[in-house]
Structure 1
Amino acid sequence: MMASIDESTSSSAPNPTNALVLPNIIYPVIDQIDKSGYKDIQFDMRSTLFKLEEIYPGFSRCFLQSFISREMPSLTSTTNTNELTLKLEKYCDKSPYFISSLHNEQVFHELNFRSKNLKRILSRIPDDINEKREFLETIKEIASAIKKTLDSVTNTLHYFKTVEGRQALENEKKEFIKYSKNFSNTLKAYFRDSKRDDVYMAANHLLIQIDYLLRTIKLYCETDQIDDCLYPSLSQHQNQMKILASTRYSTNNQQQYNLRQSSASSNSRQSYETNYS
């Protein structure tokens, strides 16, 4: 049985689940509209929900919870969105995220296979976490899958034609490694405090980072247009990076200004002492 709904997170650490509600829960439902004869409104629904999520981060999650509360009140106390998005990952058709089959090179086939495998193992966490022995085995599989995925990503660098592209991929690799370490630290904490929800969120972060890695490779190694609606948190991520860069720039300017002021003050004092000693 799933834990009770958990919702609030600090603005400094946005909940990764917000970015997975659309692709893992709502988009699959919209895809079913095609089979019911409403394909003409499918695109509009996706783009509208995507824009709402971009403007109001977390909108999709609030919408889902409101729907459950109104239409299925008996599930309200037993639905954990962090767990649900992670668990549903293995059931979703994520083929648009992976590298096109037009690439016959082995490195891309290997990357697709390894990243899919990592996603699949991560999605097993809600089921395996109940049994310590199984969970420990799953953790070992995840560690191995992370390493193999990173190796596969590195192998694609040869196909990047620009310095900009290679730098973009290196940046995403650093983010992936950062969240991999965070996932590892969260697991260590879990064996002390048993906070499953933290594990679910750390795993969801990894799912998102895998998509970012694949998206970067698609951008620089494919000619097909990318469906940006698949990445509802990407612009938020980019905006956060811009804010951090701006903050660093302002801080550096302030530090340089302070150094100049300090130097000017020191020179003035030395001049004064020379003239009046």
Structure 2
Amino acid sequence: PLYAVMYPVFNELERVNLSAAQTLRAAFIKAEKENPGLTQDIIMKILEKKSVEVNFTESLLRMAADDVEEYMIERPEPEFQDLNEKARALKQILSKIPDEINDRVRFLQTIKHLNTKRKNL
């Protein structure tokens, strides 16, 4: 949740207040390292307080397709860029799972597709 949910928030905040965004990002990273799962707990409490019903697992899967700069390989060599593309393709497949999970045939096909892609890494 830290990278999938909070990083887009930090990126938006950077446009308004760079210093605050950097401070908040560093604080969340440190807190998450010392207390794994803290970010998810905070998000869940906020949603609970606002009486918002969200399937958190489904939401995280849908957000899986989003690129997270911190996980992208910046080296220019073709092998590394190819690895970035393969990772992006896997994330795209993962993000479709919530739409396909109720269709057994499509879901099983997606799982097979994921397994094939994983083997090609």
Q: Could you say whether these structures have the same fold, taking a TM-score greater than 0.5 normalized by the shorter chain as the test? A: yes
**Letter paired with 2:54:** T
Which residue of structure 1 aligns with residue 20 of structure 2?
41
Partner of 2:69: 95
With normalisation by structure 1, the TM-score equals 0.41
After the TM superposition, list the runs of 4 or more consecutive aligned residues in structure 1 that deviate by more than 3 angstroms: none
Q: Which residue does the alignment assign to 2:60?
A: 85
Work out which structure has the larger RCO, using CA pairs closer than 8 Å and 6 or more positions apart in sequence: 1
Q: CA deviation at 1:93?
A: 3.0
| Cα distance change, pair 95–57 in 1 and its aligned pair in 2 (3 A) | closer
2: CA distance, partners of 1:48 / 1:99 = 24
Aligned residues: 121
| TM score, norm. by length of structure 2 | 0.89
Q: Alpha-carbon deviation of 1:55?
A: 1.6
Amino acid paired to 1:131: D
Q: 1:116 aligns with which of 69, 75, 88?
A: 88
Q: CA deviation at 1:135?
A: 0.9
CA apart distance, 1:82: 2.3
Q: What is the letter of the counterpart of residue 121 of structure 1?
A: I
| Displacement of 1:22 | 0.4
Say if 2:29 is the partner of 1:50.
yes
1:25-64: CA deviations, max 9, x gaps? 11111211123x2112111101101111122221111100
Quick one: distance in 2 between partners of 1:34 and 1:46?
Answer: 10
Q: What do the CA deviations read for 1:206-232 (whole angstroms, capped 9, x no partner)?
A: xxxxxxxxxxxxxxxxxxxxxxxxxxx
SS in 2 for 1:124: helix
Q: How much is the aligned-residue C-alpha RMSD, in angstroms? A: 1.6
Q: Secondary structure at the match of 1:135?
A: helix
| Corresponding residue of 1:190 | none
Structure 2: which 5+ residue stretches go unaligned? none
Cα deviation, 1:52-98, whole Å, max 9, x if unaligned, reads 1122221111100111112x30x2xx3232222122111x3323312
Structure 1: tracts of 5 or more residues without a match? 1-20, 150-277
